[in-house]
A = this chain, B = another copy of it.
């Protein structure tokens, strides 16, 4: 196989130790040896513009893919174009395409039953499932959390995390209708009619402008990244606070950014009080450690620690949504680890790179009765088979260190490119390989994405005018340089 995968043109074009030359010249800060990997390609290889003739553009479809031929960091499309993938299926591919460890897992007879017999996990789990969870999800549980609930996807995870917070809030606080009174209602022959009344309290979840937590109706009420997501869909009257808009470079705006974060925190407290007075108390606060869909908006650890304290002070649960930030992409397994606190959250939801949805939670968040958080499948043990392999690969190959290393090269390269093309790029930022840079406007951003794609690198946009980088955890320094070279070419040609 290896011979058919080798394409050395681009590798040869990497000249050693040339620092940033004049604009328009090749960007080569440093070369890095191609990591030895039998199963990956060496470089992009483009045969047609993208989408090519075999990709019919249908609705939102970008192009059709040949997943059989894709390897590691390289996605191959239906026309045989091979692209370095820094978007990875909206950040959901943990260790690249067709990783040998995952190929082996599927064909291992020991796992056959997990693929073929999908159980109703909530009532009839496989006998070894608790041990499997200890080995996989619980081995990477956030600080202070010993429980995990699996779900099918990110939206389901957040929907159920919200429910867990509502139940927790009512059970602890015994707010509104007393439990005894409710039991009386429930015995009433038409008790079901009460379900728009006292049984379904006006509780709320506080979320942030620019936040994204999914697009089912509960999640959508807390999603505020793009208008089109919410348009025409009924929503709840829940409070929305401002998320800090930091100014870059951070070291030049220390005072302004601290003030901005203080302003947002004050607004959070005001909204909690206001919604309590409205009779719609805030049961939980939900926040992303880095607002991803909303434009890669960062805030300081200090902001999150203070926010967590506000939640505690007002008796709200604190839900950190790590659906996009989790799984190692920031150089730590969970982005909230960068805050350096030992009580980061009451609930942490995940999906995407974790291959299964779900959420971790504290003991207090266990519902008072069974079946309150429930659906038919409640996850999928076959995804846990893959996750176990992914975690083995992460540990064996020290991928979090690799992410930190390649993330530094990537971010440093972006700093240099924005210095070189200040009329096009600004606000380079990131943690690990979870990086972003802003284009001067949305049209420029969209053009840059298309031009870079035609040169063999797949990127994604987020927010109004940001480019987001979401490579897999097997993205190495080598790949960062490869991208930076190509991106430099695009920028140097950009009018």
Contact = CB atoms under 8 A, between A and B. Distances in A.
A124 B62 contact: yes
A314 to B, nearest CB: 18
A195 B167 contact: no
B227 A192 contact: yes
13 contacts: A62-B123, A62-B124, A75-B124, A89-B118, A89-B120, A92-B377, A93-B118, A107-B107, A169-B232, A194-B227, A196-B235, A217-B218, A352-B376
A30 to B, nearest CB: 31
Contacts of A209: 192
A204 B122 contact: no
Contacts of A154: 375-376
A22 interface: no
Interface string A88-104: 01101100011100110
A186 B112 CA distance: 50
Contacts of A216: 155-156, 159-160, 216-218
A366 to B, nearest CB: 8
Interface stretch (A63-71, A329-337, A473-481, A484-492): A63-71
A311 interface: no
Given A125-B61, A234-B203, A70 B227 contact: no
Q: Chain A interface mostly helix, strand, loop or mixed?
A: loop
Contact of A117 (B67, B122, B204): B67
A62 B294 CA distance: 42
A237 interface: yes
Contact of A230 (B195, B224, B369): B195
A23 to B, nearest CB: 33
Q: Lowest 4 A-B CB distances belong to which pairs? A: A217-B218, A60-B370, A78-B127, A159-B216
Candidate in A60, A232, A351, A372 with the most chain B CB atoms within 10 angstroms: A232
Interface of A: 54-55, 58-68, 70, 75, 77-78, 89-90, 92-93, 97-99, 102-103, 106-107, 112-120, 122-127, 129-130, 152-156, 159-160, 162-163, 166-167, 169-171, 182, 186, 191-196, 199-204, 209-210, 214-219, 221, 224, 227-228, 230-237, 240, 351-352, 355, 369-372, 374-377, 382, 386
A230 to B, nearest CB: 5
Contacts of A70: 117
Contacts of A214: 375
Q: Max chain B CB contacts within 10 Å: which of A75, A102, A120, A236?
A: A120
Nearest to A237: B196
In the complex, which of the residues A67, A107, A210, A218 has the most CB atoms of chain B within 10 Å of its own CB atom?
A67
Nearest to A217: B218
Nearest to A204: B234
Contacts of A155: 156, 159, 216, 375
Given A200-B230, A230-B199, A122 B237 contact: no
A303 to B, nearest CB: 20
Give this chain's copy count. 2
B217 A159 contact: yes
A182 to B, nearest CB: 7
B92 A118 contact: yes
Nearest to A162: B217
Contacts of A106: 106, 112, 115-116
Given A196-B235, A232-B167, A377-B153, A116 B90 contact: no
A375 B64 CA distance: 17
B234 A66 contact: no
A99 B116 CA distance: 8
Contacts of A129: 64
Contact of A153 (B156, B169, B355, B371): B156
A425 B129 CA distance: 37
Nearest to A366: B59
Contacts of A228: 369, 371-372
A166 B65 contact: no
Contacts of A191: 227
Contacts of A115: 106, 115, 382
Contacts of A123: 60-62, 90
A377 to B, nearest CB: 6
A397 B374 CA distance: 34
A169 B204 CA distance: 27
B90 A376 contact: yes
Contacts of A371: 60, 228
